[in-house]
Structure 1
Amino acid sequence: MKEIKAFIQKEKLNEVAKHLKENQFCCFTVFEGEGVGDYIDPETEFPSLDFPFLHHKVVKIEMVIEKEKVDKVIDILTKHAQTGKNGDGLIYVSNIDYSVRIKTGEHNNSSRKA
């Protein structure tokens, strides 16, 4: 299993989510946040009440999928999250050793016992 974390511009979330769902990637988590860095677009930066410097609104999408489906998700993200401006975002892919379903205690890795 792989975990994908994608940081994208907030206004691209609906388009990205639509295309993920159309391609049977139904399950993901979305977080809203503020990014700071060299990639900030001066047209969309804003002063934050929580932090004393300029920020750029970002959305983080997190999902865990089968290894074989990673390239398809990356294709969807890069195609539909892209604006061509600074701050289009980043995608990270990490390994997932195992997961545990809280409700049942079920592990996805047969070497681990509940």
Structure 2
Amino acid sequence: MQLAQVNIARFHHPLAAPEVDEFRAGLDPVNALADRAPGFVWRLQDDTGNAPALGSLDDPRLIVNLSVGESPAALRDFTDSGRHLAFLKRRRAWFMRPRHPSRGARVSLSFDG
């Protein structure tokens, strides 16, 4: 069973800011690994090969990543290992933490900060 995973995040700083240099520098290598990973099916991308350049919901600091794998295990094997895992561990340096909704609340795209 194929599985799609979507991630939505908001940067602390604009994508062009020096504080985001490490993230930008890692995009192409991590995306290249994803494209060759066992079980990879598809990922959202623009003409440059990156999803962040798509711009999202009229907020230049908001990015969306959508990936499809052959199975939940295939997605997990990629996201939880190697270079992607090292990249993932740095997410709090680049992205705001989303607010957690209270019980019964309608979920929206809101971020602290």
TM-score relative to the length of structure 2: 0.42
Greater C-alpha radius of gyration: 1
Higher helix share: 2
Of structures 1 and 2, the one with the larger relative CO (CA 8 A, separation 6+) is 1
